Chains A and B, each alone.
Chain A
Amino acid sequence: MDRSAPLLPVDDDRDTGGFFEAARRRELVVRACSSCGTILHVPRAHCHTCGSWEGEWRRVRGTGALHSWTVVDHQVHPGYPVPYTIVLVDVDDAPGVRMVGHLPGSLDLRDGLPMRVRFDEVGDGVVLPQWEPAD
């Protein structure tokens, strides 16, 4: 493998593969219980609220608000040159769902900053939902 390339996710896991399958269609989805609607992110099969095993992939809008961030100045992997910024985003229309994003460089950010999803082809047919400031 190319050690200087960014890491590719396993995108065909039994529980989580649907998230990456949707990303290939440029759709952002979360796993939700078909019975009571509880959102199960990161994706799991069993609903801890109502006990149902019936789940579905629910499409969400792809906007959110910045919850926290860290600018990484110390490099630990050749595929991720510094500085870069890791963001935590609270997804607007999926209560309780938070996602991680990667932005190159060191950005001037603030709590609650509006964010939007972007779909990046990262190689080998994998599409990664990414998050960036909305404007």
Chain B
Amino acid sequence: MRDDETFHHRDRCAISGIGWTDFSRDSGRSDLTLATQASLTAIADAGLAPAHIDGIVRCDMDLVRPNDLVDALGLTRLDYFGDAGPGGVAPCGQVAQAVAAVISGQATNVLVYRSLNGRSGRRYGLSSVTAARVGGNGTYDEFFLPYGLLTPGQIFGLIAQRHMIEFGTTEKDLGAIAIACRNRANANPQAQMHDRTLTMDDYLAARMIARPLRLFDFCLETDGAAALVVTSTERAHDAPNPPALIRAVAQGSLPHPQPGIQFPVVLRDRITTLPAKPTAETLYRRAGLGPSDIDVAQLYDCFTITVLLQLEDFGFCAKGDGGAFVSSGAIELGGTLPINTGGGHLSEGYIHGMNHIVEGVRQIRGTSSNQVEGAETCLVTNTPLPPGSALILRRDS
């Protein structure tokens, strides 16, 4: 195993700027316009001008490319650019690349962004297959799509059913996650579900999508963008807002993860464990922190069950105890681990993991609409399916 002293990044970089657009079902703007707006906001929030940005890291599913933003933002140079992925696994990995670029001297202020018209444009919850034949060329889709296994929600339906078989997890446990996220969204004016409350009766009465998952177990579909500026901690001290120190970053995969992007994960030995587990081990080791040191967490919530699995895999409870943990109230504001304090993908908006980092920075600055009092550390995860990424933010002491 690599000695972490040879790649020491603990607290050496920070997020100095954050930006986001409105979250809606129909933005009426292009992906590039959304990305430009969120980026300009983040750059100004960092106390910078576009000419100060010299690095850009993209999510591999973003329709906007780094060079598009050079032009749109009016950058004068681009010394570093990169991609991270896949999809919702990207954001913390994008920050990790930005950290590496800054520490290695390849860039000074790195823009990280995610932009999508996720409702009015391409909808990830629909099968987008248009080919006459599916699969081949290393996708392995030929073993899944012909059987009607077509969407991530169906994958997580299979995983949730197995978790219920093995551990007795209940539908109400999953409901507790949906309700916690909705409660936070009700206090967050920018959340898509700001004005709509959710009770357990509402949850249980919702229509089934892929059993045991219902409508409210699924994240929203959102048009919008979010962006960050990553720079050295030293430089972040000159910014107008308190820096959110990047305590540590990590990416990870399971051994024998199965190939492909998503469907083959249902063939793994244990489908109730995510790449969150090895990612968490690396992250905690690099951070010198453990689950008991985390004050608040933004957990990737494409589905409720995804949150439950990550709570187990990141060590907040034992494997199989996630249901009891979430139903105990621990994840609510005032609990031992408030989660998804902006409302998450389930109720704030689905910016594919990036709005979780933005909310993490708000918690560290003390400006969240659901502020956790005295929050000094925030965990952010993007660990839905192999592989995964995560980071820990920390208030400057």
Residues of A within 8 A of B (CB): 1, 6-13, 15-16, 19-20, 41-42, 44, 48, 67-74, 76-77, 80, 84, 86, 88, 96-102, 111, 122, 128, 130
A102 touches B147 (CB 8 A): yes
Residues of B within 8 A of A (CB): 125-127, 129-138, 140-151, 153-154, 157-162, 165, 207-213, 256, 258-260, 264, 266-267, 269, 271
Q: Name 24 interchain pairs, CB-CB below 8 A, sorted by A.
A: A7-B146, A9-B145, A10-B137, A13-B135, A13-B137, A13-B142, A16-B140, A41-B267, A42-B258, A68-B159, A68-B161, A69-B161, A70-B158, A70-B210, A72-B209, A73-B209, A84-B148, A86-B147, A88-B271, A98-B266, A100-B143, A100-B149, A102-B149, A111-B165
Given contacts A68-B159, A72-B209, A100-B266, 6 further A-B contacts (CB under 8 A): A7-B134, A9-B142, A20-B142, A70-B154, A71-B208, A76-B125
B161 touches A44 (CB 8 A): no
Answer whether A76 and B133 are a contact pair too, CB < 8 Å, given A86-B149, A100-B149, A100-B266.
Answer: no
Residues of A within 8 A of B127 (CB): 76-77
Residues of A within 8 A of B131 (CB): 1
Contacting residue for B271 out of A68, A72, A80, A122, CB 8 A: A68
Give the shortest distance, in Å, between B214 (CB) and chain A (any CB).
9
In the bound complex, what is the Cα–Cα distance between A28 and B41 (angstroms)?
57
A77 touches B148 (CB 8 A): yes
Residues of A within 8 A of B208 (CB): 71, 73-74
A88 touches B158 (CB 8 A): yes
In the bound complex, what is the Cα–Cα distance between A130 and B143 (angstroms)?
11
B146 touches A8 (CB 8 A): yes
In the bound complex, what is the Cα–Cα distance between A9 and B137 (angstroms)?
12
B210 touches A71 (CB 8 A): yes
Answer whether A69 and B158 are a contact pair too, CB < 8 Å, given A76-B126, A122-B146.
Answer: yes
In the bound complex, what is the Cα–Cα distance between A60 and B301 (angstroms)?
39
B158 touches A86 (CB 8 A): yes
The 8 closest A-B pairs by CB, nearest first: A70-B157, A10-B136, A9-B142, A13-B136, A68-B162, A80-B148, A102-B147, A74-B209
Give the shortest distance, in Å, between B221 (CB) and chain A (any CB).
13
Contacting residue for A8 out of B132, B143, B207, CB 8 A: B132
Give the shortest distance, in Å, between B386 (CB) and chain A (any CB).
14
Residues of B within 8 A of A73 (CB): 207-211
Residues of B within 8 A of A76 (CB): 125-127, 150-151
In the bound complex, what is the Cα–Cα distance between A15 and B264 (angstroms)?
15
B266 touches A9 (CB 8 A): no
Answer whether A68 and B143 are a contact pair too, CB < 8 Å, given A80-B150, A84-B148, A100-B266.
Answer: no
Residues of B within 8 A of A1 (CB): 130-132
In the bound complex, what is the Cα–Cα distance between A86 and B160 (angstroms)?
13
Residues of A within 8 A of B137 (CB): 10, 13
Give the shortest distance, in Å, between B228 (CB) and chain A (any CB).
33
Q: Smallest CB-CB separation from A104: which chain B residue?
A: B148
A9 touches B133 (CB 8 A): yes
In the bound complex, what is the Cα–Cα distance between A8 and B148 (angstroms)?
11
Answer whether A100 and B210 are a contact pair too, CB < 8 Å, given A9-B134, A88-B266.
Answer: no
Residues of B within 8 A of A42 (CB): 140, 143, 258-260, 264, 267
Residues of A within 8 A of B212 (CB): 70
In the bound complex, what is the Cα–Cα distance between A13 and B137 (angstroms)?
7
A100 touches B162 (CB 8 A): no
Give the shortest distance, in Å, between B206 (CB) and chain A (any CB).
11
In the bound complex, what is the Cα–Cα distance between A71 and B229 (angstroms)?
43
Give the shortest distance, in Å, between B352 (CB) and chain A (any CB).
19
B259 touches A44 (CB 8 A): yes
Answer whether A100 and B134 are a contact pair too, CB < 8 Å, given A11-B142, A16-B140, A111-B165.
Answer: no
In the bound complex, what is the Cα–Cα distance between A100 and B159 (angstroms)?
13
Residues of B within 8 A of A96 (CB): 269
